[in-house]
Amino acid sequence: DAGVIQSPRHEVTEMGQEVTLRCKPISGHNSLFWYRQTMMRGLELLIYFNNNVPIDDSGMPEDRFSAKMPNASFSTLKIQPSEPRDSAVYFCASSLLLGGYTFGSGTRLTVV
Amino acid sequence: KQEVTQIPAALSVPEGENLVLNCSFTDSAIYNLQWFRQDPGKGLTSLLLIQSSQREQTSGRLNASLDKSSGRSTLYIAASQPGDSATYLCAVRPGGADGLTFGKGTHLIIQP
C-alpha cells in the first residue's frame, strides 16, 4: 500500500490566487480528514468525511475554504482567494471508521 | 471541548536513558488514543494506538499506557537513541465524533 498520497508537496502562490490541494486516501479507508499545522496553533482539524459525506466542517476557518470528496479515492481542499495567513502545512489523513489514522506527507503552502 | 496537554514541551537527554512523555486530556469519553512521531519537515508517523478498553500497547522499545478515568497517557521510551529525536504528538479520538484532537507535542532531543 502506498499510504495516503498528497499533492503537490510544495505550493507557492500569490495572494488572491486559487489553490487546490489533493489527497488520495488508503484504499478501503472510509474516513478522510484534512488538518492544518502551524507553529502557533499546532494541528487543527479543518473538515472530515465519512463514506465520502462531509460530517463536520466547523474547523474550516472561512468561506474561502472548501473541500470535496467526489469518490472514495479522491479529495480536494480549495482556498479561493488565498491570503498570506493561509500559509501552513496541510495534511490529509485517512482511517477505517474509529480506527487509527494514517497521515500523508503534507503540502507546504506559502502565500506571498 | 476536548483539550489535550503534553508535558514537557521539550526534553533533551543523553543517549541510553529511559524516558517518559506525558499526555493529559480533559474529557475521558474517548474511543482511542494515538501517539505519533513527527520529524522536522515531515508528516506524522503512527507509533501506537490504544483503544479505550485497553490499558497499554507495546512496540519494540516503546510502551504507551492509558488511564481513561484520570485522563492520562504516557509514552515510555526505553534505551533512547539519537534516532529517537523528533516531536512526539498525542491525539485522542473523542466519543461520538471522529476527528482527532492533538496536543502541541513534546520536542525530544537525544544527545549522542
Within 13 Å, how many C-alpha atoms sit on residue B93's CB side? 20
Residue A28 CB neighbours (<10 A) = 9
Judged by CB atoms closer than 8 Å, whether chains meet at A101 and B91 is answered as: yes
Kindly indicate the confidence band of residue B96, based on its pLDDT and cuts at 50, 70 and 90: low
Rounded CA separation A58/A61 (Å) = 8
B32 touches chain A (CB under 8 A): yes
Mean pLDDT on B21-49: 94
Of A95, A99, A106, the CB nearest to B43: A106
Identity at B75, one-letter amino acid code: L
Average pLDDT, chain B: 94
* Bridge partners, residue A51, by sequence: none
Who's near B100: CB < 8 A, 6+ residues apart? A33, A45, A93, A101, B34, B91, B92, B93
B87 touches chain A (CB under 8 A): no
Mean pLDDT on B68-78: 96
Whether residue A81 is preceded by a cis peptide bond, meaning omega within 30 degrees of 0, is yes
Of A55, A102, A105, the CB nearest to B98: A55
Kindly indicate the confidence band of residue A97, based on its pLDDT and cuts at 50, 70 and 90: confident
Judged by CB atoms closer than 8 Å, whether chains meet at B31 and A102 is answered as: no
Place of cell 466547523: A58
Judged by CB atoms closer than 8 Å, whether chains meet at A43 and B102 is answered as: yes
Cα B30–chain centre separation: 15
Window from A59-68, A94-103, B6-15, B40-49 with minimum mean pLDDT: A94-103
C-alpha radius of gyration, chain B, whole number? 13
A33-50 pLDDT, tens digit per residue, is 999 999 888 999 999 999
Of B34, B42, B97, the CB nearest to A100: B34
Closest A-chain CA to B49: A100
Look at residue B3 and tell me whether its pLDDT is greater than 70.
Answer: yes
Of A31, A42, A105, the CB nearest to B104: A42
Give the pairing of strands B101-102 and A31-38.
unpaired
Chain A interface residues (partner B, CB cutoff 8 A): 31, 33, 42-43, 45, 48, 50, 55-56, 59, 91, 93, 95, 97-106
Tell which residue, B68, B42, B74, has the closest CA to residue B53: B68
